[in-house]
Amino acid sequence: MAENVACIKRFSAKVITKFICQAMVATGMPRADARIVAELMTEADVNGSDGHGIFRLPGYIRRIKEGGLNLQPNIKIDKERSGMALVDGDNAQGHLVMRFCAEVAIKKARDSGVAWVGAHASNHAGPASLYAKMPIAENMIGLYVAIGNANHLPPWGGIEMLLSTNPIAIAVPGMDSPPIVLDMATTVAAYGKVKTAAQRGEKMPQGWMIDKQGEPLTDPNKSGDGFLMPIGGPKGYGLALMFGLLAGTLNGAAFGKNIIDFNADFKTPTNTGQFIIAINIAAFGDVNSFKKNVDVIYRTMKASATLPGYDEVFLPGEQSYRKRQDREANGVPVHNSLLVSLNNLADSLGIPKLE
Amino acid sequence: MAENVACIKRFSAKVITKFICQAMVATGMPRADARIVAELMTEADVNGSDGHGIFRLPGYIRRIKEGGLNLQPNIKIDKERSGMALVDGDNAQGHLVMRFCAEVAIKKARDSGVAWVGAHASNHAGPASLYAKMPIAENMIGLYVAIGNANHLPPWGGIEMLLSTNPIAIAVPGMDSPPIVLDMATTVAAYGKVKTAAQRGEKMPQGWMIDKQGEPLTDPNKSGDGFLMPIGGPKGYGLALMFGLLAGTLNGAAFGKNIIDFNADFKTPTNTGQFIIAINIAAFGDVNSFKKNVDVIYRTMKASATLPGYDEVFLPGEQSYRKRQDREANGVPVHNSLLVSLNNLADSLGIPKLE
């Protein structure tokens, strides 16, 4: 999956944010909401989540244009107790819903110690780590789970696509070390990576997908003929299923056969489910002691001798953190195929091109 | 891993419970505590968790005899808020600590909707699903994570064993269907399975472990020369690490280099960390509607057509549920090698043999 550097241009986060914001406003999203969505989408790109930032813009715009998204939502708490809330996303852009949920979780966890906030009637919200990281600034740990918006995973041993990649992210703050941030799909590869490979004209490695006869599938353009492989076989299937019950069924959101494939249907509300947990470290003990202990774990892992063929041990989120340093300094790389698609979009919306 | 039926005897749950209880009492555990531990250990066996029931008795007894366990513990809440508690296990047998934590979590979640209860100074508590299932009877969902008591997993790309199998269990009640219960290590195989294979004189399949050169390791007696493989490579490593931070570091329990290998050191308190979350379904909506929706998911997965080579799709916990039907009717199978070890133990304790 080597990238052809000649096909890549870089744009500053500011330029990316402005472009996304203009596109959203041109499609009818109120400017304040468009700003929030644009900043979170750009944040995804800066963090290296290439399948979840500006790459998603054409799909999001198409959903708005076809009437599948509510541009004047009333995002609100449906039910709440001291340790939880259930939020009605009112079919808003997922970024708006999950930012709202993260704020509710953080506010509740200040008193309750731990707060779990679920959402229904939400939508795709970008990478899981965006939201898991929000509690960090408040000296809290974040945990986020989402239902994927297209079923590409059958139950283990089956061939009917009833499950999605249902990702989990967990973010833990350190004192001097960067936060440790896991962001993973329950499948070997997230579907966003398949889409990115297709757009770039690249093959997929064996192990990402199999076809309905159980044979390896490596052409991302044929992804509709096969399905993603769960991590650890039945274990990844089990995680995808349980996360689906927690983020979907428990919240009154779609799961299983009710999932709307947002790559094929841009009109029907997706009723996406997600949840976030904020864990107030101070409720468990001294915050600085905890953070220093996280630093010790960080350094201990980094110091491990390596297997033949490995130069270095990475902490979860460390490679994203390095990408962030690079992209803040040198801009966000945009592959030529994506740039063409974005500038066609700009033309159709009557906004300035990305250049 | 075919079992030689000639080497297996079956014993009723009642007989197993009595044997464990007598052994614990003979070693100095108060009878009321011994009864609770024996019932939970037997429950593990009845559910098919062969590596976590009576199989563990000789190790537990050795720890007590060598002074590594507190037989007169004062298990208590150290810190609490409406949505959480931190419990001091006072170096009690883990089953006692985690039963206490589950009760606290359930009680708190009745009001707060969701409650997260962590423990430090705990010990090995048997299979994760035992505790995740406890909230089910109260119309709650349970989620449990534990730190394993021996490091057999390096960080991804490394060779220093700094992590354990750190399992997770999630249990969700249905209406007419059995509960859906995931119970999984973050490694391809739990270490209990390696120990069981060693005791039975069986080889391990490739993929469970590798040696320090990265080559497959299949002899369970050489497990000390290699390490377990995480599910999904870096993803399983990431889960093991984050679960360690949440169940260990956050609770003030051991993690990383502080882990006491309970297979090698029977004297030092392990300061084991675990946590349980109880999620009160009624806080999110109508309990019966939720359970019926779980039934729909259950049936939908079961109804999936299968891949070549697979007869049936299983739900998480379904195979354990079937084992339970069999074992309740026909008794718990005990492998001859284990039976010999248990009866030697009985002799040394002066209690009746298992026969």
Residue A306 DSSP class? B
Give B249's contacts in chain A (Cβ within 8 Å): 290, 293-294, 297
Cβ under 8 Å to B: A residues 150-189: 154-160, 162, 170, 172, 180, 182, 184, 188
Q: What is the pLDDT of residues B257-305, one digit of tens each?
A: 999 999 899 999 999 999 999 999 999 999 999 999 999 999 999 999 9
* pLDDT higher than 90, residue A94: yes
What are φ and ψ of residue A90, in 5° steps?
Answer: 55, 35
Per-residue confidence band for A5, with pLDDT thresholds at 50, 70 and 90? low
User: Could you tell me the pLDDT band of residue A2, with boundaries at 50, 70 and 90?
Assistant: very low
Mean pLDDT of A130-148: 98
Contact A310 B281 (CB under 8 A): no
Which residues of chain A neighbour B308 with C-beta distances below 8 Å? 213-214
Contact A277, A169 (CB under 8 A): no
**B247 CB neighbour count, 10 Å cutoff:** 28
Q: Which residue among A83, A188, A301 sits closest to B114, beta carbon to beta carbon?
A: A83
Contacts of B115 in chain A (CB under 8 A): 83, 114
Secondary structure (3-state) at A321: helix
Identify the H or E element spanning A242.
helix A234-247
Which residues of B are less than 8 Å from A314 in CB distance?
Answer: 156-157, 234
| pLDDT computed for residue B112 by the predictor | 98
The residue that leads in pLDDT, B210 or A169, is: A169
Joined together, the tokens standing for residue A271 give: 């009723």
Residues A221-240 have a mean pLDDT of: 93
Q: What was the pLDDT predicted at B5?
A: 59
Return d(Cα B220, Cα B225) in angstroms, integer.
10
> Looking at the complex, does the CB of residue A296 fall below 8 Å from at least one CB of chain B?
yes
What pLDDT is stored for residue B212 in this prediction? 87
Q: What tokens appear for A83 in the block?
A: 């340790």
Pull the structure tokens for residue A30. 């109120």
The rounded distance, in Å, linking the Cα atoms of A167 and A243 is: 8
Count other C-beta atoms under 10 Å from residue B220's C-beta.
22
Measured CA to CA, the distance from residue B137 to residue B45 in angstroms comes to: 20
pTM over 0.90: yes
The predicted structure's pLDDT at residue B6: 63
The single residue listed with the structure tokens 């989620």 is: B143
B 207-266 residues with CB below 8 A of A? 212-214, 231-232, 234-236, 238-239, 241-242, 244-246, 249-252, 255-257
Is residue A222 scored above 60 in pLDDT? Answer: yes
Type and span of the H or E element at B9: strand B8-11
CB A104 within 8 A of CB A115: yes
Res A6 pLDDT > 90: no
Residues of chain B with CATH 3.30.1370.60: 75-187+230-303
Arithmetic mean of pLDDT, A32-38: 98
> The dihedral of CA A17, A19, A23, A25: what is its sign?
positive
The class level of CATH for A75-187+230-303 reads alpha beta
Distance (Å) of CA A147 to CA A33, A79, A122, B112: 23, 20, 10, 25
- Cβ contacts of residue A221 below 8 Å, gap of 6+? A198
What proportion of chain B, given as a percentage, has pLDDT over 90? 89
In this predicted structure, what is the pLDDT of residue A4?
54
Q: What is the pLDDT of residue B239?
A: 98
Q: For chain A, what is the mean pLDDT?
A: 95
pLDDT in tens, chain B (355 residues): 445 556 899 999 999 999 999 999 999 999 999 999 999 999 999 999 988 999 999 999 999 999 999 999 999 999 999 999 999 999 999 999 999 999 999 999 999 999 999 999 999 999 999 999 999 999 999 999 999 999 999 999 999 999 999 999 999 999 999 999 999 999 998 887 888 888 888 999 988 999 988 889 999 999 888 999 999 999 999 999 999 999 999 999 999 999 999 989 999 999 999 999 999 999 999 999 999 999 999 999 999 999 999 999 999 999 999 999 999 999 999 999 999 999 999 999 999 999 8
Of B114, B158, B293, the CB nearest to A304: B158
Looking at residues A344-353, what average pLDDT do you find?
98
Q: Decide: residue A309, CB within 10 A, 0-12 exposed, 13-18 middle, 19+ buried.
A: exposed
**The domain defined by A1-65+317-355 carries CATH number 3.30.70.260:** no
Closest by Cα among B68, B54, B52, B104 to B275: B104
Q: What Å distances lie between residue B351 and A107, B65, B346, CA to CA?
A: 57, 16, 5
Amino acid A98 reads M
A1 pLDDT band, cuts 50/70/90, is: very low
B76-81 and B8-11 beta bridge pairing: unpaired
Q: How confident is the model at residue A200 (pLDDT cuts 50, 70, 90)?
A: confident
Cα distance between residue B45 and residue B11, in whole Å: 11
Residues of chain B with CATH 1.10.1530.10: 1-65+317-355
Phi, psi of A123 (to 5 degrees): -145, 175
What residues of chain A, 308 to 327, have a C-beta less than 8 Å from chain B? 308-310, 312-316
| A:90-109 residues touching chain B, CB 8 A cutoff | 108-109
What band does A219 get if pLDDT is binned at 50, 70 and 90? very high
Q: Which two tokens stand for residue B74?
A: 């004062």
